[in-house]
Amino acid sequence: MILRDVTLVDGGEAHRGAVAVDTESGTITAVGDADDVTAAADGPAVSLPGYSVLPGLVDAHIHYSLSGERSVEDVVGMTDAELALAEARNARKTLEAGITGVRAMGARDVDPHVRDAIEAGDIPGPRTVANCRSITITGGHGHHLGREITGPNDARRAVREQTKRGAEFIKFMTTGGVTTPGTDPDAVAMTYAEIDALVDEAHRQGVHAATHVHGAEGAKAAIRAGVDTVEHGTFLDDEAVELFLEHDVTLVPTLSAPYYIVRNMEMATEESARKTRHVYERHIQSFEKALDAGVRIAGGTDAGTPFNYHGANASEVEFMANYGMAPAEAIRAMTETAAAVVGLDGSGTLEAGTYADLLLVEGDVTDDLTLLNNPTAVLKGGEVVAGAVPGASDE
Ligand SMILES: [Zn+2]
């Protein structure tokens, strides 16, 4: 199938052209000038002027285990069977909304099974890089579903447990969080020895290390320890931003997370509302500071956190653009950059030989990013998994 005369949005740019998809191999076979692509590729061509084609979105930070509940306490009592079914539902919603790749940030030990079921074609979902349990101090942020540690030796053991069960990266909580009662988002919760041990052991096991951080001191400690991605980065100062650049670390700002709590303040728990009021403005300033300095930024939503529902992920692109990114650059942050950072090879770009994971959107998305919320068709591996391609036959 050839989609021609469309606006192709890729690599931070937009231009007119065509993309050819091989449904057998599930890959893109040609991309570029509409006449050249149509001449070179097999299969029927559909002319869709007025439509945009871009790579399927890649969300670098989601929680299949959470479904936007007001409090994580609502999830704690679920059995593994209930959790697995909720995760399968959330994976389907995510894919149907046009997110064809994700990094799942972990919950008990269910995520690798969900990943494997998606890969086997047993359940619909995005290409998934999975983790097991987030690692946190005893009683720390996310302890309800996480692996609590005390001391550097226990930190190493915790990393080995996760990789043994199929984790493709390690997530740990350097600071407290907004949604866990009694933890302080600004304070460094772990000891430096624990942080060093976690990152070192992750790299020994051949996986990358991601850390949840709000306060600047936590970001600095994790970056100095060699962490690969910093999640949230809510209160970054100049020194922290310098360290991102010096150590080539990626920021996943998750602007959606505080936005949805602030917007639903009257329904949030008293503690998470109070903490979020304090963080929201500073979070945006922190994002702007990192963007201005040239820190690499990958789009991630923290989907599943309170009122931050699976399927609304595309709003993160809009938020990043609202706070300073050019529209095509914001799309790049949540396609190419996110895919590269989380290790989803062959995703996130429109290039011959890569997966035909595509969004077809009516209108010019670089003029109006809200169009991303309603794709006309979502393709994963060349197959239409949501919506339909206008004018294409059913075969
Ligand atoms: Zn998260």
Instruction: List, for residues 238-261, the tens digit of each pLDDT value.
Output: 999 999 999 999 999 999 998 888
Residues in the chain: 395
E strand spans, 262-370: 358-362
Class of domain 2-55+349-387: mainly beta
pLDDT on residue 264: 84
**Quick check: 249 and 229 in contact, CB under 8 A?**
yes
Give the Å distance between the CA of 40 and the centre of ligand 1: 44
Q: Bridge-partner residues for 9, per DSSP?
A: 14
| DSSP 3-state of 349 | coil
Give the Å distance between the CA of 163 and the centre of ligand 1: 19
Confidence bin at 43 (pLDDT 50/70/90): confident
Give the Å distance between the CA of 345 and the centre of ligand 1: 22
**Quick check: 233 and 219 in contact, CB under 8 A?**
yes
Pairing, β 13-22 against β 2-10: antiparallel
Give the Å distance between the CA of 379 and the centre of ligand 1: 26
Whole-number percent of the chain with pLDDT over 70: 99
Element (H, E) at 328: helix 327-332
pLDDT on residue 202: 98
User: Distance between CA 154 and CA 160 in Å, rounded?
Assistant: 10
Ligand 1 ion: residues within 5 Å (CB): 105, 302
Q: Which of 204, 179, 195 is nearest to 268 (CA)?
A: 179
For the chain, domain boundaries:
2-55+349-387, 57-313
Confidence bin at 190 (pLDDT 50/70/90): very high
Q: pLDDT of 51-99, one tens digit each? A: 999 999 999 999 999 999 988 778 888 999 999 999 999 999 999 999 9
pLDDT on residue 107: 77
Give the Å distance between the CA of 302 and the centre of ligand 1: 5
Confidence bin at 394 (pLDDT 50/70/90): low
Class of domain 57-313: alpha beta
Give the Å distance between the CA of 364 and the centre of ligand 1: 31
Pairing, β 45-47 against β 2-10: parallel
Give the Å distance between the CA of 62 and the centre of ligand 1: 6
Give the Å distance between the CA of 38 and the centre of ligand 1: 43
Q: Could you give the angle at the alpha carbon of 167 between the alpha carbons of 166 and 170, nearest 5°?
A: 160
User: Distance between CA 140 and CA 105 in Å, rounded?
Assistant: 16
Q: Which residue type does 239 have?
A: E
Q: pLDDT of 135-161, one tens digit each? A: 999 999 989 889 999 999 999 999 999
Give the Å distance between the CA of 327 and the centre of ligand 1: 24
Give the Å distance between the CA of 63 and the centre of ligand 1: 6
Give the Å distance between the CA of 289 and the centre of ligand 1: 21
Cα dist. 198→28, 55, 131, 220, 307 in Å? 39, 34, 14, 15, 31
Q: Is residue 200 predicted with pLDDT exceeding 70?
A: yes
Give the Å distance between the CA of 53 and the centre of ligand 1: 29
pLDDT on residue 54: 98
